[in-house]
A and B are shown apart, each in its own frame.
Chain A
Amino acid sequence: MRTRTKVYLVDDHTLFRAGIRSEIADRVWICGEAGTVAQAIAGIVATEPEVVLLDVHLPDGGGRAVIDGVAAAGKATQFLALSASDSAEDVVDIIRAGARGYVTKTVSADGLVDAIRRVADGDAVFSPKLAGFVLDAFSSIPVSEVDEDLATLTKREREVLQHVARGYTYKEIAAALFISVKTVETHVSAVLRKLQLDNRHQLSRWAADRNIR
Chain B
Amino acid sequence: MSSVATRFPRPPGRGARLGVDVAVRRVVVGYRLVGAIWATLLGVLALLGQTPGQVDRGVVAGTLALVWGWTLLTVLLAERREAILTGWPWVAADVAVGAWAITASAVAGSRGISIAGGWPFAVVLLAVWARGFAGGLVTALVLSAVAVFRLASVGLPPATLPAASEAVGSALVYLAGAAVGSWGIGVLRRAEADRLAVEQALSSERAERRLAEERAETAAHLHDSVLQTLALIQRRSDDPVEVVGLARRQERELRGWLSGVSPATGRFAAALRLLAEEVEAVHRVAVDPVVVGDDDLDEGLLALLAASREALVNAARHAGVDTIDVYAEVDSISAEVFVRDRGVGFEPAAVDPDRRGLRDSVVGRMRRHGGTADVRSVPGVGTEVVLRLERGGAAADDPGGAQASEGPAARTADDLRS
Contacts and interface: CB of A to CB of B under 8 A. Distances in A.
B291 A166 contact: no
**Contact size class for A?**
10 to 19
Interface string B279-303: 0000000001011110000000000
21 contacts: A86-B255, A87-B259, A128-B288, A128-B327, A129-B288, A129-B290, A132-B290, A132-B327, A135-B292, A135-B329, A136-B292, A136-B293, A139-B292, A139-B293, A165-B290, A165-B292, A166-B327, A166-B338, A167-B325, A167-B327, A213-B261
Interface string A164-179: 0111100000000000
A132 B292 contact: yes
Contacts of A165: 290, 292, 327
A109 to B, nearest CB: 15
Contact of A128 (B255, B325, B331, B384): B325
A203 B96 CA distance: 63
A144 interface: no
A99 interface: no
What 5 pairs across the A-B complex have the smallest Cβ distances? A167-B325, A132-B290, A166-B327, A166-B338, A165-B327
Q: Is the interface of B mostly helix, strand, loop or mixed?
A: strand
Interface of B: 255, 259, 261, 288, 290-293, 325, 327, 329, 331, 338, 340, 384
B387 to A, nearest CB: 12
A129 B329 CA distance: 13
Given A166-B338, A213-B261, A131 B331 contact: no
Contacts of B325: 128, 166-167
A129 B340 CA distance: 15
Nearest to A137: B292
Contacts of B331: 139
A87 B259 CA distance: 9
A196 interface: no
Contact of A162 (B259, B261, B293, B327): B327
Contacts of A162: 327, 329
A191 to B, nearest CB: 14
Given A128-B327, A135-B292, 4 more contacts: A128-B325, A162-B327, A165-B290, A166-B384
Nearest to B386: A166
A158 B259 CA distance: 29
A64 to B, nearest CB: 20
A162 B255 CA distance: 25
Contacts of A132: 290-292, 327
Interface string A148-167: 00000000000000100111
Which of A87, A166, A213 has its CB near the most chain B CB atoms (within 10 A)?
A166
Contact of A166 (B255, B293, B340): B340
A136 B288 CA distance: 16
Contacts of A86: 255
